[in-house]
Amino acid sequence: MIPITSAADRCVSRVHDEWFADEEKVRDAVGLLEKPLVDFSTDGELTCGICFETFLSDKLHAAACGHPFCESCWEGYITTAINDGPGCLMLRCPDPSCKAAIGQDMINLLAPDKDRHKYTSYFVRSYVEDNRKTKWCPAPGCDYAVNFVVGSGNYDVNCRCCYSFCWNCAEEAHRPVDCETVSKWVLKNSAESENMNWILANSKPCPRCKRPIEKNQGCMHITCNPPCKFEFCWLCLGAWTEHGEKTGGFYACNRYEAAKQDGIYDETEKRREMAKNSLERYTHYYERWATNQSSRQKALVDLKKMQTDDIEKLSDIQCQPESQLKFIIEAWLQIIECRRVLKWTYAYGFYIPDHEHGKRQFFEYLQGEAESGLERLHQCAEKELQLYSNAKGPSDDFNEFRTKLAGLTSVTKNYFENLVRALENGLPDVSSHGACIRNKSSKSLGGKHKGASSSESGQWACERCTLVNPRSATICQVCDQGH
């Protein structure tokens, strides 16, 4: 077998086109001969072309070209090529004048087991890396390759190892956030700019040596570290020798207050305040992003434990076949997926422009509804399930628990599908100036029309999420609230 498609990026149609356009050129490129160059006789004795020893014909082998070589020389030639790296996939006949390819059938016949496995790994790697629809899973320690199904609607793919990643950027799966936002967020999380913001917001430079100093006590009397040892006032940065009872003592500084009133410290304070606000805002979103990431990792561990130990135990206690307990696994899989989505919504929220108040308000509403549903599902799957796992015998209300958990799984899935759809569409139905007005209108009209409020234009605003829906819609396009 000769890997002919490797020369054309594994594109079968392209190989066909090139083959029929210039068959001889393709044959020459891949080492595929039309007929043997020499006759390989299977009778009598032949001379090996490498060691020049004479052997019976059944002790020699030849590629499609017919040049005979003994088994020992073949093994050494193939082993050397494989140890040299992936170039062995384009291995040619040992005869210097011959370009005949050495296919995998020759490798399997003549190479030792270790070398065969190495050759196969090179071949598989070559296939994956040359195929535009196949990629290696980027999860640490994973050896699986993933095939992308065209027309799936998004770039998130799932590996057999349970890791999900984005086909487009190879980061972990990040719907509903686009790759550009993910790139900015990941860079921000690792950038030195946040360290500088923290330094600016929480420290001041020593007036003498300019080294940043963090104030960790209440007193305004600051002493710089050796060798500087300069003593100064934290508020006005003046020398401490110029301070005393007249300037406010140890916990205040009249000089600073007077200078502040005169506008001397305005620009510096503004910069420090802006840095502090920026840091606090970033911290708000990052902490929630990281918390959901941590919760997702814990849920993955819980799911594995559930699959390996807990389901069997629960099956014995509740006298239920394991096939009837799949609803629990489905709930945990939904929790894991929702934690991932919720995590990335905080990156989405961080980059919503400050002036788009209506969009932010609507986003936070959708996020809050989805998060509340997820917390209810997570609590049911984690804490309430323990009651049945720790029971001494079958529980009378276990079927009620099954209905509850399955229902929460379905509702939570619906919440998050709506959230993802809305964010991927950019919340197009919410204007920066009109969302708050629609919110007030829907509440004021809520008593007149159960479930929704109608507008004069024929559209109707959902009472639950305030989205303005088209007249023909019978349920809200975001939260599925009935009209």
Cα separation, 455 vs 83, whole angstroms: 75
Three-state DSSP class for residue 204: strand
Catalytic annotation, pick one of 73, 219, 436, 479: 219
Residue 65 near residue 93, CB atoms below 8 Å: yes
Cα separation, 339 vs 333, whole angstroms: 10
What single-letter DSSP state applies at residue 215?
A: -
Question: Which amino acid is it at 460?
Answer: W
> Which residue, chain included where needed, has tokens 């099956």?
315
Burial code (b: 16+ CB inside 10 Å, e: under 16) for 264-276 equals ebeeeeeebeebe
Cα separation, 123 vs 132, whole angstroms: 16
Q: 164 pairs with which residues across the strands?
A: 158
Verify whether residue 219 is a known catalytic residue: yes
User: Residues 6 or more apart from 422 whose CB is under 8 A from it?
Assistant: 366, 478
Neighbours of 217 (CB within 10 A): 8
User: Residues 6 or more apart from 62 whose CB is under 8 A from it?
Assistant: 40, 68, 69
Residues taking part in catalysis: 219
